Amino acid sequence: MHEMCNVVGYGSLDFRPILDRHIIKVKVYQVLCHEILSVIQRQMLNDMPATMRTMRTRLRQLQDLMERWGAMTEDVLSIRISGIRVEVTVHTEMVIDGQRLCSELDLFRIGGLESALGGPFDTISCALDKFLYWCRFHISAFAAEVYERDVYAPSIRVRSAYTFTRQTIGWSGKFMGRQLQEARDWSQVIAEASTRQMVDTRLPEFGYDGWEMDAPEVRPLIQDFLEHAEWILFHRVKDRTIPGLMLMKPNRGGYLPMKGIYEDRVGGARHYIGLYGADWRDHVRCVE
């Protein structure tokens, strides 16, 4: 089962029914998926952008999708995005044999498929205006998070907003399970942090994105690292307004590794605090 529309436990299905040895797989999913794919390519929906520039492109595509839907009458839109589609994979020598088998088992209808399986699917429905409201709500929330420079890597906050937005419009493709779990874990962390703040007003907020996910004892170390490490702009970068991301060893000992380790300052701070802890100044050049 592949969850859709931010509803836990509900979504598209693919399975191998025990009906006939020639029937390899059955897929049951919303017609809505094809309407989304008419505007945004599958690969673009599946992949998580690595830069804020690509994230802005995804935001514009989602906004274009909502404009397309908004330009349709309610009746036309309902026809285009409502309903369920069934795909049956059958291995037979000839296509007509596969068609005949599916007809005999009545697999071209949801009702027939339910009868063949011995019971109905557990389904829920949503009013069209409510569905569109939540789509617009999450796209607006996603847009509010897309403000960093193009070259920056998206934070967990931005990635989560993008994942929840794709889920809301009805997409659940490749990698969505892992991405959705990451977004839900992040939301849980934020909720727990908010609860702790309400209980203990002395809980400090730290000045970097995602501090809530770090252990309390390392938060001040990461903040200290971000404020006092000497961040250096690589000499080959043409845009000199980009904040530096490179770090060096003390006493001109050369650059510290970055590629494949971290993509932004917070990631760098987490990595080297994890390695050196409170003694990070012995290993990383700093400015006091």
Give CA separation, 239 vs 52, 113, 163, 233, in Å.
Answer: 16, 59, 30, 10
How many Å apart are CA 150 and CA 55, to the nearest integer?
Answer: 9
Question: Hey, which of 54-68, 169-183, 184-198 has the most confident mean pLDDT?
Answer: 54-68
Which of 88-97, 184-193, 237-246 is predicted least confidently? 237-246
Count H helices and E strands in the chain, helices first: 11, 4
154 or 3, higher pLDDT: 154
pTM: 0.62
pLDDT > 70: what percent of the chain?
A: 92
List pLDDT tens digits, range 247-258.
989 887 788 888
Which of 78-82, 178-182, 193-197 is least confident? 193-197
**Residue-level pLDDT at 200:** 52
Closest alpha carbon to 272 in 259, 288, 261? 261
**Greater confidence, 15 or 166?**
166
What is the spatial distance between Cα 39 and Cα 94, in angstroms, rounded to a whole number? 35
Digit-coded pLDDT (tens) for 227-242? 999 988 766 555 555 5
What was the pLDDT predicted at 196? 63
- The interaxial angle of helices 128-145 and 156-169, nearest 10 deg, is 160
What pLDDT, on a 0 to 100 scale, did the predictor assign at position 223? 92
Q: Strand pairing partners for 12?
A: 2
**Residue 197's pLDDT is what?**
60
Mean pLDDT computed over 21-47: 87
- Residue 204 reports pLDDT greater than 70: no
4 close to 15: Cβ distance less than 8 angstroms: no
**Higher per-residue confidence, 243 vs 257:** 257
- pLDDT band of 221, cuts 50, 70, 90: very high
